[in-house]
């Protein structure tokens, strides 16, 4: 089994490398994930996603089989009949959620890949607000945590009619912001390490 520990800096599927900053230097996570996905092609498998973990593993009891074409798609799909899960979307969102955070990645080729955040790292938490996937930034946190107007402002901070919001967990918009960062098209430079706590009640 291969184990990697460090801080993840993911900026999109095609913005390489997927940098993991470890105590002994930077590691590119992409070739490792690519190799694992290729090792699972054709196997029955399942995925599990939580706010603080993601697992993709071989499972003979699963009705779904892994299909992977690099640069095109990663699917869990029924070999016959109707039924499909988009691994590309779930894994991509997880990598965005974990970007900026300390993580541990365990990989056993042909068997299992698990990404887990380091729960010992104290990070600021936000909640989905309303019906969408933007998170309300509590009053004062835009300066203390997000660093609005400062050189190290978080790229996920946005402002709207209802005040400041965090877009790290907003799906396609979060991916868009990371892509702009990778291309140098955004003034903010920091990938915040905030965590998703769920939805406001």
How far apart (Å, rounded) are the C-alpha atoms in residues 96 and 56?
Answer: 17
How far apart (Å, rounded) are the C-alpha atoms in residues 157 and 192?
Answer: 9
CB-CB contact of 100 with 192 (8 Å):
yes
Chain CA centroid to CA 42, Å: 24
pTM summary value: 0.94
Q: Which of 117, 197, 201, 190 is nearest to 157 (CA)?
A: 190
Q: pLDDT of the chain along its 201 residues, tens only?
A: 899 999 999 999 999 999 999 999 999 999 999 999 999 999 999 999 999 999 999 999 999 999 999 999 999 999 988 999 999 999 999 999 999 999 999 999 999 999 999 999 999 999 998 888 999 999 999 999 999 999 999 999 999 888 999 999 999 999 999 999 999 999 999 999 999 999 988
User: What strands, in cross-sheet order, belong to the sheet with 65-69?
Assistant: 65-69, 73-77, 84-86
Residue carrying the six token digits 């939580």 = 50
């Amino acid at each position: 089994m291969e184990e990697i520990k460090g801080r993840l800096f993911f900026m999109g599927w095609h913005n390489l490398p997927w940098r993991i900053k470890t105590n002994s230097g930077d590691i590119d996570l992409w070739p490792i994930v690519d190799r694992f996905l290729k090792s699972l092609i054709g196997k029955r498998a399942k995925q599990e996603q939580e706010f603080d973990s993601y697992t993709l593993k071989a499972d003979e009891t699963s009705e779904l089989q892994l299909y992977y074409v690099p640069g095109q798609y990663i699917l869990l799909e029924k070999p016959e009949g109707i039924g499909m899960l988009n691994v590309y979307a779930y894994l991509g969102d997880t990598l965005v959620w974990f970007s900026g955070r300390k993580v541990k990645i365990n990989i056993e080729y042909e068997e299992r890949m698990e990404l887990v955040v380091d729960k010992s790292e104290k990070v600021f938490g936000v909640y989905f607000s309303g019906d969408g996937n933007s998170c309300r930034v509590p009053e004062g946190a835009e300066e203390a945590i997000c660093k609005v107007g400062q050189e190290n402002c978080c790229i996920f901070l946005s402002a709207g009619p209802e005040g400041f919001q965090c877009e790290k967990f907003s799906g396609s918009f979060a991916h868009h912001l990371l892509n702009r960062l990778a291309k140098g098209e955004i003034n903010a430079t920091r990938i915040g390490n905030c965590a998703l706590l769920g939805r406001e009640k």
